Amino acid sequence: MKKIGLIVNPIAGMGGSVGLKGTDGNTYKKALKLGAKPTTPQRIEETLALIKRKDLCFIVAPGKMGEDYLKKYDFKYEVVSTTIGETTSADDTKRIVKEMLNKNIDLLIFVGGDGTARDVYDVLGLSIPVIGIPSGVKMFSPVFALSTYAAAEIIDKNSNQFIEKEVLDIDEDAFRKGKLGAKLYGYLRVPKNPSLLQNKKEPSNVTKPEAISKKEIAQYILGRIEPETFYILGPGTTLATISDVMGLKKTLLGIDAVNNGKLFGADLNEQALLKLMAIYKKIKIIVTPIGGNGFIFGRASKQFTPEVLKLVDKTDIIIVATEDKISRLECLRVDTGDVEVDKKLRGYVKVITGNKTETLIEVK
């Protein structure tokens, strides 16, 4: 019997219809005043109605955070024993997910948006795979299933292939003002989207599993390390694998500097980077695209400011990514806020995808 946690953020997505671009913080009450209606119930019920497997036992959040939807269907379930108030909050989500973790769930289904994904990440990290059912206003994090159908398909197929996807933190206030500022918040393990059509003739373009691709990338980098050079490693699990292979503990979300096998600075900000670059002349930056749109600079790693990037030669920027990731991107993108710097970074670049494999892709 597979134990599946189910938690619903009943207020996610309410800001969208009334133009509020999110329900983080106090915006929720404003959304209600504007006549916003919950969109979540329909989303989760669509998925539940499509699940065909019967060997599932749901560990579900109480009331409108889960049980209310599940009890309409013929599934075995157990409610985690917490009560929730009239209005629900991020703390409720985190507390309940923790209880589910203690009940040894195999998989967590959460319904919500980027905010809910962050709450789930805070508790689970990479420990348990999740399926995000999109229902928020902002779903920039690529952890969400493509749709409710896809979510049901993944559950039915019992996929055991997982990949790590980014959880992004979008600044809602900036987003309301028409700006998109995103920070890499963490990673969640999500099932690979299975093929929705059987008997396809063509094999996949992706030849290597993600873990092998990452190890190969690390080998490639290690084989070319120059002792005199300072390497500045951007955020992401691919970069973390490189530092793991070096025997170093890198910050997952921060920017770290490495020289001659030693960690020279962790979680560096712009000032620290500029200082480092003023002292040491041989600098190389290693980055990986973050998020589904393929940004290498200007989104999740704001510390790489135009001032920092002006000091680096384009040939000293090494881009790495797994084959799976690169195959799903139309192109790479930069948006540093400085037209000249963006211009310098544009054009075709080489992305290392393995020890002997590379992809040439356009930066736009």
Partner 1 sequence: MTIELFKNENPYLPADNILQAAEKGLEVLNRYSKSASLNALKKQLGKYNNISPDRIVLSHGSDLLLREVINIFSNDRNIIRFSPSFFHVSINQSIKLINIKLSPPDFTINSGLLLSQLNEPTLIVIDNPNNPTGKLMLNDNLVEKILQNKNVLLLVDEAYYEFSGKSFVNLIEKYPNLAITRTMDKAFSLAGLRFGYLLMGDYFKEHFKDFPSYLATPSIFAAIEALKNKEYMVQNVKKILFEVKKIEDNLLKIGIQYFSGHANFILVKTEIPDFAIKLKKAGVLVRDLSDEWLNGYYRISVGLPEENEILLSMIKKIKNNT
The binding site for partner 1 (CB under 8 A) comprises 146-147, 149-150, 193-197, 200-207, 292, 326-331, 348, 353-362, 364
**By C-beta, is 177 or 350 nearer to partner 1?**
350
Q: 198 burial class (0-12, 13-18, 19+ CB within 10 angstroms)?
A: exposed
Pick 151 or 246: Cβ nearer partner 1: 151
Of 80 and 329, nearer to partner 1 (C-beta) is: 329
Shortest separation between residue 245's beta carbon and partner 1, angstroms? 17
Positive or negative: CA dihedral 175, 180, 183, 184: positive
| CB of 53 vs partner 1, minimal distance in Å | 18
Residue 362 neighbours by CB distance under 10 Å: 12
- According to the 3-state scheme, what is the secondary structure of 288-345? CCECCCCEEECCCCCCCCHHHHHCCCHHHEEEECCHHHHHCCCCEEECCCCHHHHHHH
Provide the minimum distance between the beta carbon of 348 and partner 1 in the complex, in angstroms, as a whole number: 5
Q: Could you count the other beta carbons within 10 Å of the beta carbon of residue 33?
A: 9
The nearest distance, CB 257 to partner 1, in angstroms, is 30
- Of how many residues is the chain composed? 364
Strand partners, 58: 4, 77
CA distances 224 to 220, 232, 285, 355, Å, are 7, 15, 14, 11
Based on the number of CB atoms within 10 Å of its own CB, is 164 exposed (0-12), middle (13-18) or buried (19 or more)? Answer: buried
> How many Å apart are CA 144 and CA 152, to the nearest integer?
13
> 């080489």: which residue's tokens?
350
Minimum distance, C-beta of residue 360 to partner 1, in the bound complex (Å): 5
**Closer residue to partner 1 (CB): 64 or 333:** 333
Asked if residues 122 and 165 have their Cβ atoms less than 8 Å apart, the reply is no
**Minimum distance of partner 1 from residue 194's CB (angstroms):** 8
Q: Which CB atom, from 202 or from 228, has the smaller least distance to partner 1?
A: 202
Question: Is 230 strand, coil or helix?
Answer: strand
Q: CB of residue 3 vs partner 1: minimum separation in angstroms?
A: 27
Nearer to partner 1, 184 or 352 (CB): 352
Residue closer to partner 1, measured from CB, 89 or 327? 327
Tokens 């890499």: give the residue.
184
Question: Closest approach of Cβ 259 to partner 1, in Å?
Answer: 28
Burial of 255 (0-12, 13-18, 19+ CB in 10 A): buried
* Cβ-based neighbour number of residue 42 at 10 Å: 14
Q: Which is nearer to partner 1, 195 or 260 (CB)?
A: 195
